[in-house]
Amino acid sequence: MNTATKLLEAMRNNPLDWRIEQLQTVAQQQQIEWRQEGTSHCVFIRPDGKTLPVPAHRPIKPVYVKKFVAFVTGA
C-alpha cells in the first residue's frame, strides 16, 4: 500500500486537518490533474472532464475533504 492510498483511506476515516498538498499527492497517484495558478482555490480535473474546486486555505474544511474523496473514488 503506497502513501497516496494510505492518505486517501485516512481522509475517508477522518476528514479533519488536511492540507492541499496532501490532496494533490492523492490526485497525482489517481491520474487526476489540478491547477492552482496563484489563486485561493485548487481545481482538480478528472480524466472524464469533471472538476472539483477546493479552497486552499489551511486546514481544509471537512466538507471539501469528503467531496474530494467521493470525487477521487468516482462517486
Place of cell 478528472: 46
Does residue 1 carry a pLDDT above 80? no
Query: What confidence tens digit (pLDDT) does each residue in 33-65 have?
Result: 999 888 889 999 999 999 999 998 888 999 999
DSSP designation for 16: S
The pLDDT of residue 75: 65
Residue 44: which of 58, 60, 63, 30 has the closest Cα?
Answer: 30
Domains of the chain are: 3-73 (3.30.920)
Query: What pTM was computed for the model?
Result: 0.90
Provide φ and ψ at 63, rounded to 5°: -60, -35
